[in-house]
């Protein structure tokens, strides 16, 4: 049998991959990690200064246990790294009482006994005055356990801890080909070939290029930051916390207040869709007024007091599956390959829990949270 360079390789060290490498190394597994860029980069899906964390996962009941486990592991990552990555600000979910955002959050809280508080439209106007023109048939759901996570620093911390635990890390190294061979997988970079017994592929928008056959679509999602028209602490994070707000036409405004040197962060989803499909290898990251015009037009009525033009615009990529859920597991049951992808714009909060689950799968154990509903073969 050919000599193995490592027991397992993690390809892609974004949110999910970095957490996987950390958990594998922490368990003493001989692991090697590759990323085509420098971990913590801004060319994928794990950047932008902040990501929302919430336990009331309205996207699927099975995600609530994963969020709870992820919260425990975020604390563990912080303790091990010696830096704060999670900021417990609380979170606000606004929308029609029977809608997807507020209604779904309330249903999740009741099903899983999650502590929340409901607010009428009038109470919202008093408690969070920067959210205006909330119709009477809408409501707010306040989740005290919600907050924000620092994505770039979290990725870098997980990679650093993995390296300190013995993992070998190769940044700026692209895997250009992956071939299943007897007893393992052969990975090729531009300079060398690497043979491992198992590979975990967590390359985000590039997943289909290494593991064909998964029904993934890559989308371009603009992120914008706005400044107040005048100095106003009402837009600081402690008074304008992380939120998602569903409008009557189905569009969702999301974001969080100014903090940590960042201006007010906002985004807009159009009826659950985000921008247009994109080729992840397209190097054009330029922005146009189309990236913020619709959002800017909403601000005077919905979130007044902000300048009409954003101070900064960035582009994030995400991958979408047909059912809006992740793909996690072994395609075709192959013992050599594990995949994780399809973040669907709600995957970062689960990164530590998913990393642990992928490490458990690699080691042949049972995942601490049931993830069978995310099996990649469900689309076959």
Domain-located, residue 250: yes
Indicate if 117 and 249 belong to the same structural domain. yes
pLDDT at 380: 83
Q: Which of 320, 348, 364 is the last residue of a domain?
A: 320
> Where in the sequence is the domain holding 285, given as residue range(s)?
91-144+217-320
Domain-located, residue 271: yes
Domain-located, residue 255: yes
Domain-located, residue 70: no
pLDDT in tens, 106-121: 999 999 999 999 999 9
Mean pLDDT of all residues in 146-159: 98
Question: pLDDT > 70: what percent of the chain?
Answer: 98
Indicate if 314 and 335 belong to the same structural domain. no
How far is the C-alpha of 105 from the C-alpha of 97, rounded, in Å? 10
Domain harbouring 209, CATH code: 3.50.50.60
pLDDT in tens, 280-310: 887 677 889 999 999 999 999 999 999 999 9
Domain-located, residue 121: yes
Indicate if 212 and 223 belong to the same structural domain. no
Quote the number of domains for the chain.
2
pLDDT of 272 strictly over 70: no
Indicate if 193 and 277 belong to the same structural domain. no
Indicate if 316 and 221 belong to the same structural domain. yes
pLDDT in tens, 318-349: 899 999 999 999 999 999 999 999 999 999 99
Domain-located, residue 163: yes
């Amino acid at each position: 049998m050919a000599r193995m360079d490592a027991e397992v390789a993690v390809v892609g060290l974004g949110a999910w991959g970095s957490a996987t490498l950390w958990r594998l190394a922490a368990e003493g597994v001989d692991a090697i990690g590759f990323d085509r860029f420098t971990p913590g980069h801004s060319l994928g899906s794990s950047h932008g200064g902040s990501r929302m964390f919430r336990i009331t996962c309205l996207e699927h009941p099975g995600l609530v246990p994963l969020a709870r486990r992820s919260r425990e592991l975020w604390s563990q990552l912080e303790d091990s790294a010696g830096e704060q990555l999670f900021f417990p600000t609380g979170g606000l979910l606004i929308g029609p009482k029977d809608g997807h955002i507020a209604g779904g959050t309330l249903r999740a809280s009741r099903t899983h006994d999650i502590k929340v508080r409901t607010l009428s439209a009038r109470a919202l106007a008093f408690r969070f005055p920067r959210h205006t023109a909330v119709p009477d048939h809408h409501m707010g759901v306040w989740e005290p356990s919600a907050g924000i996570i620092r994505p770039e620093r979290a990725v870098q911390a997980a990679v650093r801890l993995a390296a300190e635990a013995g993992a070998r890390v190769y940044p700026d190294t692209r895997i250009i080909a992956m071939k299943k061979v007897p007893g393992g997988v052969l990975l090729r970079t531009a300079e060398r070939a690497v043979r491992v017994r198992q590979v975990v592929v967590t390359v985000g928008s590039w997943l289909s290029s290494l593991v064909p056959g998964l029904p993934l679509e890559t989308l371009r999602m603009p992120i914008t930051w706005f400044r107040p028209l005048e100095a106003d602490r009402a837009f600081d994070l402690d008074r304008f916390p992380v939120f998602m707000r569903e409008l009557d036409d189905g569009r969702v405004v999301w974001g969080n207040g100014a903090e940590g040197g960042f201006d007010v962060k906002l985004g807009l989803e159009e009826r659950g869709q985000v921008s247009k499909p994109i080729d992840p290898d397209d190097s054009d990251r330029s922005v146009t007024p189309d990236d913020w015009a619709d959002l800017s037009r909403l601000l005077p009525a919905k979130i007044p007091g902000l300048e009409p033009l954003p101070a900064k615009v960035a582009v994030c990529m995400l991958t979408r599956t047909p059912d809006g859920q992740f793909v996690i597991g072994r395609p075709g049951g192959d013992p050599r390959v594990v995949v994780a992808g399809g973040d669907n714009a709600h995957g970062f909060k689960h990164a530590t829990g998913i990393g642990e689950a992928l490490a458990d799968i690699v080691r042949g154990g049972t995942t601490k949270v049931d993830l069978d509903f995310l099996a990649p073969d469900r689309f076959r």
